[in-house]
Structure 1
């Protein structure tokens, strides 16, 4: 497993780098096929299938991804290393170690000859930017599943995730009218000024709500002697509950200009709905806790602030747990690390879970 993780880590795979992603995808597909999966692709996303053996239990869907936040060359500053139980390198924790543990577990399950349910795995190529091209695929597969397990990193120490904040990336664009800023300013409509007013007003919508709003990027204009004809801002929004999510996104979709002749458009770049803990998830957690106890592991679960593809399945009402990747720390940080022993622990747990004819 350590050799496999080293191979995956050295194949750097930043979101959007088609060549780098393709190189890792080829290796992952070969390893998945050796483990026993039938492999296919939908766009850049990897689809792995393990047919049921001697059981008619419902389909188990697992969600993972093979893109990382780290650009090619990150290995120069955060090289692969193993020191005692600590494994470091870009993407080891989020979430290449999870793929290693999963493939090892499936190989063992097949070798055992024991019954197991049908297992479907989606390995997403653009998860780190909100899975804008994977949402429909995740929703379609979730409708077939009786339970979903997310292969994202767990809480510190290894506990699972039973809910997630809603997460949306949105863009506000303003089209104004360019004119000479000194000779004929009234003929123009300043898109930057309009955007600033729109952002100020939108903050008032969010104020006093349990909503996180971050203006991540802003751009526009060109020269100081030209009235700006275009401006845009990208926003990051996090929600604790569906009601506030609906209200805030509704306001974002109905922006009206303050200046005559200004044109305002808004759109969602990526959207993951709020996933709140429910009875189905709690039942699944209790089942997984018992199975973990049977192999002398202790774990529990609680909601998380970060978002992932399990937002989509959990919000659909499909029993969902996340955080099945190995324990570690430093996601999206230069000190990212994963526990070597934790990889073995998660492979053992996944093997035990896959041997259940049904988790529900």
Structure 2
């Protein structure tokens, strides 16, 4: 059966009996990502890259760095001092204080005061992959900062700029806000259902292995359910793989010029581009990916899709070439296919333990990343 939305944001709709992409009765419905938490051994180096990437520093203590965008709201990123560089987990915003109570009651967790910048209250959980997930409410929002000017563009017969020139400033692209985080997991279906059932998120697009569609999707782009209010195409994306944890996080900037000029600034500072510039298919964002000094991947993006709750999931085959409408080919670094001891360890572990990775699934993923 073809979806009514098949020709709107995906060439294919669901087949009968496939995953509906939402829960019938979720515990709560989160409003957005609040922030991401990391640990770093060198906070000074982390702050230097963050400023080059375009974050503002909201606060700094001897052990914690709080990074923010220009929009009002909570900090985007919390970096705590630790023995090594690692992703700790995401924090999501609850819609109401009562949601924390409801969530704690349903999961057996506790509601406690959040002794951090902005205060508020928090429920700490673990998703089926073992990743820490926080749900927060009542944090004091940070005030707005000056925005990066959006350039006035001439469109053929509709000029907006006369007797003037374009000269984007050679400066960092100012991060406006946190957009999304992408996670890898060996327990894809179980983890996906947890986010839909527990946090009330809904799927915008599914990807599947072209010759294994009957085994279910292998990637989901998941948004917050705000009813009739438009939400980012994805606040969370998850894909099946031999690893577990962080893949990348994405931060909105003003426009395509900010993406491009911000990339030139990062390159001038000696930082490493992973992939870009291009335009995605699922989500439509203009993208540019970079590595921080600890090799964690981060994305500048602009012009992403917004969906309300009426739009059903699209379905598309998973492939490297299907990740972008235009731009350079996806790199092996971005795809995570560079041979390494860590990748080999993950593959061996995944094949030995009980999860959704088996040899046909692994070979199918490898084929898709070469397609």
Q: Is TM more than 0.5 here?
A: no
> Which protein has the bigger strand share?
2
Bigger Rg, which one: 1
